[in-house]
Amino acid sequence: MSYFICRRAFRDAKGPVSTGSVIDPVEIKRFRFRLQEGHIVEVTEQNFEQYATLFEQRHGITIPKLDEVPSKESDEKEAKAKAEKEAKAAPVAKATAKAKVTENK
């Protein structure tokens, strides 16, 4: 298992990407270029300790462990389940008050 993390901050089409943020390759324009330039690095089980110490010493950021990184699919499922739960729990209120209409003279 591996994930990609921003090593050097840069500006993307959707806005700035800060150092230490976990990146989904699909969302970044020119991802391969950023990877080759070293702006983005791939964190795997073999190099996790190396990057964990690098980010801690240089930036003061603790990067998430490999099993703690949330996947986009699980986030979507959780959001959908939460939305369904809120829709069932919140009753729809009916509008009983009529709006007061005034005419200009």
Residue 102 lies in a domain: no
Would 80 be classed as within a structural domain?
yes
pLDDT tens profile 91-101: 555 556 566 66
Give the chain's domain count.
Answer: 1
Q: What is the largest CA-CA distance in the chain?
A: 80
Whether 50 maps to a domain, the answer reads yes
pLDDT value, residue 61: 87
Q: 């110490």: which residue's tokens?
A: 53
The two structure tokens encoding residue 13: 């089409």
The confidence score (pLDDT) of residue 70 equals 62
Beta bridge partners of 16: 11
Structural domain that includes position 60: 3-89
Q: What is the pLDDT of residues 7-64, one digit of tens each?
A: 999 998 888 999 988 989 888 889 999 999 999 999 999 999 999 999 999 989 888 8
In a domain, 105, yes or no: no
Say if 98 falls within a structural domain: no
- Name the helix (H) or strand (E) containing 28: none
Question: Is 104 part of any domain?
Answer: no
In a domain? residue 94:
no
